[in-house]
Structure 1
Amino acid sequence: MSNVFDILKERGYIKQLTHEDEIKKILEDEKITFYIGFDPTADSLHIGHFLPLMMMAHMQRAGHRPIALVGGGTVMVGDPSGKTDMRKMLSKEIIESNVASIKGQLSKFIDFDKEKAILVNNAEWLSKLNYIEFLRDIGVHFSVNRMLTAECFKQRLEKGLSFLEFNYMLMQGYDFLELNRRYGCVMELGGDDQWSNMLAGADLIRRKESKPAFAMTCTLLTNSEGKKMGKTEKGALWLDKNKTTPYEFYQYWRNVYDADVEKCLALLTFLPMDEVKRLGSLEGAEINEAKKVLAYEVTKLIHGEEEAKKAKEASETLFSGGCNMDNVPTCTISKDKINLPVLDLLVEAKVIPSKGEGRRLIQQGGLNINDNKVTDVKLIVTEEFFEHGSMLVRRGKKNYNRIVIE
C-alpha cells in the first residue's frame, strides 16, 4: 500500500498533526477508519469544504475507510471557531433539510458502495444525551483553563462567548469518542480552524479508552496574499449549481492569480504532481493554458464532465467573440419587467445580489450591457435592449449572464 501521508504532504494538504511518526506508520501499515465532520449550516457545501473532501478522497483511494459525519446535532449549538459573533440558530426543519442536501453532495466525492465509507448524523447520539450524565462522564475530562487558551474561544472572549457555544468542543470531542466505539475510528481530519476541537477529541479517547487516537488538519484555501479563496461578488463559491452555476464556478478558477495556479492544481485536482509542477511553471501568456486546465478539472470534479465541457465552451465562445451562447448562464424574466430601471431588473434576474452592489459596479465602470458600458444608475431597460432576443450583461471583465424574455 502506498503511504498516503507522503501524497498529502507533497500536495500541500497537511498543516498540523499529532504524533507524526505514529501517523505515518499507521497509514503505511494498516487500513484505518477516519472521519471528517460537516455541520449543515446551509443547504450546500462551499469551496471551503472541498479541501477536506479532497483529503478524504485521497485517503479512501489509499485504502482507508472514511466516515462522513453530518453534524445534525452539533449545528444546533453552533461552532464558535473563526466566528466573531454567535451563529444564527436554525430550526429543526431547516437543519433536516440541510442534512439531506449535504448528504447528496458528499456522495459525489466519496464512494459509499459496499460500506467503503460510512455516512452518519451525530444527532443520532447527541440528541439522546442526558445532560447530567454527560457532564459527569465527559465534562470531567475537560479543563476550563485549557479550553480558554484554545484559539476558537480566545478570540471570542472580548466580544462575548455564550455558554451554549462553550459546549461545542465537548460535543465534537464526544463525536470522536462515539465513532471510535462504534466503528473503530482512530483519526479525525478537518480544516485547520478545527485544531483545538480535534485535539480535545483525540485526548478524550486516550483518557477514556486508553487507546491511541490522532488528529490531522489540512491547510485552509488561501491565495498568495494569504486571503481566503472562494469569495465572489455574490458571496460564497457554492458546490450546488443552483447557488453558483457551473459557468461561474469555472470562471472563478479560470481567473485565479498566476501565483496560485500550482497550489490550486495540487490541492483541488488529482493530476499527477509532475504535471502540476509543469503547468505551474508556465509563464506569461502560457499560464492561461494552466488556468484552463485548473478550471476544467475542478469543475469536472464538482459538477461532472458534461457541465465542465459546457462551461469551458461558453467561456471560450465569449472570449473568442463567437456567437453560440447556449451554455452562457441564462435567466428568464417576464415581459412586464421591461422598462424597469437597470438595477431593479438585474436584481430581479439575480444577476447581481443587491442594488448597492450594482451601483458600485457602475461607479467603477464594471457593468456592461450588450458591450456598452453602463454609466447611469437610473438607466431604463427598454425592449430595444432585447433586439436579438436576449440581453448580454457583463460584470467586471469576465462574468457574463444572458437575460431572455419569456
Structure 2
Amino acid sequence: MTYHPKSEFMRVMIERGFLADCTDYQALDEALIEGIVPTYIGYDATAKSLHVGHLLNIMMLRWLQKTGHKPITLMGGGTTKVGDPSFRSDERPLLGPEQIEENISGMQRVFAKYLDYGDAPNGALMLNNAEWLDELNYLDFLRDIGRHFSVNRMLSFESVKSRLDREQSLSFLEFNYMILQAYDFLELNRRYGCLLQMGGSDQWGNIVNGIDLTRRVLDHEIYGLTSPLLTTSDGRKMGKSQGGAIWLNADMLSPYEFWQFWRNTTDADVGRFLKLYTELPIEECERLGALEGSEINAAKIRLANEVTTLAHGAEAAAAAEATAREVFEKGGIGDDLPTFTFSAGDIGDGISIIQLFVKSGLVKSGKEAKRLISENGAKMNDDPVTDAGTMIDTAALAEPLKLSAGKKRHVLVVLEN
C-alpha cells in the first residue's frame, strides 16, 4: 500500500491488514478528517447467529466507532427474501418472514457486544432494509431505479460471470439482488447521510453499483472500502472447523469451544490474527507473532483470551482458559467443557462407544469413530478406547464421562437425572 493516510481510521485499516481496496483513498481520507462518516455493512439474516467469517468486518465497524465515526449495521430483512448470489454455485434456500425475524434477533445480540448503540453523535444505528424494500412499487422501481443499470455491465461482474462461466443457473430473482443492494446504499445516503459502504472483497461489484446509482440519482459522492477474503495459512476458509461454523452466539457454540478455536490457530497465522481480531498494539501483535517453538503457545492463549473477551466477556475467557489448563495439563474434567446430555431411555440396555462419539458430536459418522479408535485418537476419561465394540450402560454414566477426539476436542457426557 503506497497511500499514506491522514485519518486515524484509514491508518488503522492499512496498518492492521483490513484493507483490500477502496474506490477513492484520498477523497475518503479527507471526508474522515472533516467530520463523522456514517458507514454501513449489510448482513443478510440467513442464520440465527453471525460466525467467525463475519468477525473481520465487525472489527472494522468497531475500529470505525473507536476512531470517532458512526457505524450502521444494516439487517437484510428485505434482501434475505432474495438471497445474495455472489460467488455461489446454487441458489440460497428462501426463508419465511418469521425465520428472518428470529435470525435478525439472534444476530443483533452479537453486535451489541462490539458496538455502542447509544445516543452519542457516533452512536451505532441498527437498521433493517425491509423498512424501504417492503414498500417498493415494482413499476415505479423499474422506471426510477432499473433504468440506471446496464445488464451488459452487471454480467461483467466477477460474482455473476463466474456463475455463468460454469454454466450454472442464475435466476432473475438472484440477478435483482445487486440492484437491491445498490438501492440500499442510495436510501441510506438519502435518509441517514451514509457516506461509506464496507464489505468483503467479493462485494466490490455490489458496492460500486450503489456508488454509481447514488451519483446518478442524487448527485452525491460516496465511497466503498473492501476487506480481504481471509483464508488460514493452510488454505482453509476462515471460520470453518471440523465441527462446522464457529458461531459468535454462546447458545450456538460454547465460549469454551470458541476459545479453543483461537487457541488452535496455526503458528503462521498468530501475528496476523492478533492484528485483525484483537485491539492489542501493533508492536505487541508483531512481538507475539514472532515467538517460536513452545513460546508461540503463550501467544495463542493471549489471542484466544482477547478474542473471547470481546465476544463473550472476560469471565468466559478466564473460565475457558482454566478449563483448557485443567483438561490439557492436568488431565482433569474441566467445568466449562461442552456437555451432551442423555436420558436413561436413550441408553436403554446400553449404547455402543461408537454411537456415544457420534451422538455427542465429536465425530460425524460411525466410520469416522472407528477410524479414530483404530488410530488411538479416541479416549474415555483420558484412557484410550481400544475396542470399537465397547458398550456403555447407565451405571457407567453415574458420573460425567469425558470423551476426547484427539488432543483438542472434548465433550462431557452426562446422564439426565
TM-score bucket of the superposed structures, by smaller chain: over 0.9
Equivalent residue number for residue 131 of structure 1: 138
Equivalent residue number for residue 401 of structure 1: 411
Alpha-carbon distance between aligned partners in 1 of 2:191 and 2:370, rounded to the nearest angstrom = 55
1:82 aligns with 2:87: yes
Task: Decide whether the 8 Å contact of 1:337 with 1:345 is kept in 2.
Answer: no
Per-residue deviation, 1:108: 1.3
Task: Decide whether the 8 Å contact of 1:3 with 1:24 is kept in 2.
Answer: no
- SS at 2:256 equivalent: helix
Alpha-carbon distance between aligned partners in 1 of 2:211 and 2:385, rounded to the nearest angstrom = 57
Task: Decide whether the 8 Å contact of 1:57 with 1:109 is kept in 2.
Answer: yes
- SS at 2:411 equivalent: strand
1:305 aligns with 2:310: no
1:219 aligns with 2:224: no
Q: Deviations over 1:3-35 (max 9, x none)?
A: 210111000000111011111221223211110
Q: Name the stretch that deviates more: 257-266 or 217-226.
A: 217-226
- SS at 2:391 equivalent: coil
1:295 aligns with 2:308: no
Aligned match for 2:247, one of 214, 225, 238: 238
1:28 aligns with 2:33: yes
Alpha-carbon distance between aligned partners in 1 of 2:128 and 2:368, rounded to the nearest angstrom = 38
Alpha-carbon distance between aligned partners in 2 of 1:361 and 1:200, rounded to the nearest angstrom = 50
Calculate the TM-score normalised by the size of structure 2: 0.93
Aligned match for 2:402, one of 392, 397, 400: 392
Summarize the alignment of residues 27-66 of structure 1 with structure 2, pairs less than 5 Å apart.
27-66=32-71
Summarize the alignment of residues 157-172 of structure 1 with structure 2, pairs less than 5 Å apart.
157=164, 158-172=167-181
Alpha-carbon distance between aligned partners in 2 of 1:286 and 1:107, rounded to the nearest angstrom = 34
Alpha-carbon distance between aligned partners in 1 of 2:21 and 2:66, rounded to the nearest angstrom = 22
Equivalent residue number for residue 150 of structure 1: 157
Q: CA RMSD in A?
A: 1.8
Task: Decide whether the 8 Å contact of 2:357 with 2:403 is kept in 1.
Answer: no
Aligned match for 1:19, one of 13, 24, 35: 24
Q: Deviations over 1:152-199 (max 9, x none)?
A: 111211111111100000000000000000000011011111111111
Alpha-carbon distance between aligned partners in 2 of 1:99 and 1:360, rounded to the nearest angstrom = 40
Aligned match for 1:194, one of 172, 196, 203: 203
Alpha-carbon distance between aligned partners in 2 of 1:379 and 1:197, rounded to the nearest angstrom = 56
Alpha-carbon distance between aligned partners in 1 of 2:255 and 2:286, rounded to the nearest angstrom = 26
1:373 aligns with 2:362: no
How many matched pairs?
405
Q: Which runs of 5+ in 1 are unaligned?
A: none
**Structure 1 counterpart of 2:233, which letter?**
S
Alpha-carbon distance between aligned partners in 1 of 2:385 and 2:148, rounded to the nearest angstrom = 62
Alpha-carbon distance between aligned partners in 1 of 2:72 and 2:127, rounded to the nearest angstrom = 7
- SS at 2:195 equivalent: strand
- SS at 2:50 equivalent: coil
Task: Decide whether the 8 Å contact of 2:50 with 2:249 is kept in 1.
Answer: yes
Alpha-carbon distance between aligned partners in 2 of 1:76 and 1:289, rounded to the nearest angstrom = 45
Per-residue deviation, 1:234: 1.7
**Structure 2 counterpart of 1:334, which letter?**
S
Alpha-carbon distance between aligned partners in 2 of 1:364 and 1:141, rounded to the nearest angstrom = 61
Per-residue deviation, 1:373: 3.1
- SS at 1:42 equivalent: coil
Alpha-carbon distance between aligned partners in 1 of 2:396 and 2:384, rounded to the nearest angstrom = 13
Per-residue deviation, 1:332: 2.2
Per-residue deviation, 1:325: 2.3
Per-residue deviation, 1:37: 0.5
Per-residue deviation, 1:322: 5.2
Task: Decide whether the 8 Å contact of 1:76 with 1:89 is kept in 2.
Answer: yes
Equivalent residue number for residue 256 of structure 1: 265
**Structure 1 counterpart of 2:148, which letter?**
H
**Structure 2 counterpart of 1:390, which letter?**
P
- SS at 1:402 equivalent: strand
1:265 aligns with 2:274: yes
Task: Decide whether the 8 Å contact of 1:328 with 1:400 is kept in 2.
Answer: yes
**Structure 2 counterpart of 1:214, which letter?**
Y
Identity %: 46
**Structure 1 counterpart of 2:136, which letter?**
L
Q: Deviations over 1:303-355 (max 9, x none)?
A: 11111111000001111115462222223222233311223334444444554
**Structure 2 counterpart of 1:260, which letter?**
D
Q: Name the stretch that deviates more: 370-379 or 303-312.
A: 370-379
Equivalent residue number for residue 342 of structure 1: 353
Alpha-carbon distance between aligned partners in 1 of 2:361 and 2:296, rounded to the nearest angstrom = 32
- SS at 1:114 equivalent: coil
Task: Decide whether the 8 Å contact of 2:87 with 2:160 is kept in 1.
Answer: no
Alpha-carbon distance between aligned partners in 2 of 1:86 and 1:71, rounded to the nearest angstrom = 17
**Structure 2 counterpart of 1:257, which letter?**
T
Equivalent residue number for residue 3 of structure 2: none
**Structure 1 counterpart of 2:83, which letter?**
G
Q: Name the stretch that deviates more: 20-29 or 250-259.
A: 20-29
- SS at 1:69 equivalent: strand
Task: Decide whether the 8 Å contact of 1:237 with 1:244 is kept in 2.
Answer: yes
Task: Decide whether the 8 Å contact of 2:324 with 2:334 is kept in 1.
Answer: no
- SS at 2:80 equivalent: helix
Alpha-carbon distance between aligned partners in 1 of 2:373 and 2:155, rounded to the nearest angstrom = 47
Q: Name the stretch that deviates more: 147-156 or 181-190.
A: 147-156
**Structure 2 counterpart of 1:34, which letter?**
T
Alpha-carbon distance between aligned partners in 2 of 1:197 and 1:363, rounded to the nearest angstrom = 50
Q: Deviations over 1:241-291 (max 9, x none)?
A: 122111111111111110000010000001111111110111111111000
**Structure 1 counterpart of 2:379, which letter?**
N
Task: Decide whether the 8 Å contact of 2:262 with 2:303 is kept in 1.
Answer: yes
Alpha-carbon distance between aligned partners in 2 of 1:76 and 1:218, rounded to the nearest angstrom = 25
Task: Decide whether the 8 Å contact of 1:4 with 1:28 is kept in 2.
Answer: no
Query: 1:155 and 1:374, CA in 2 relative to 1: closer, same or farther beyond 3 A?
Result: farther
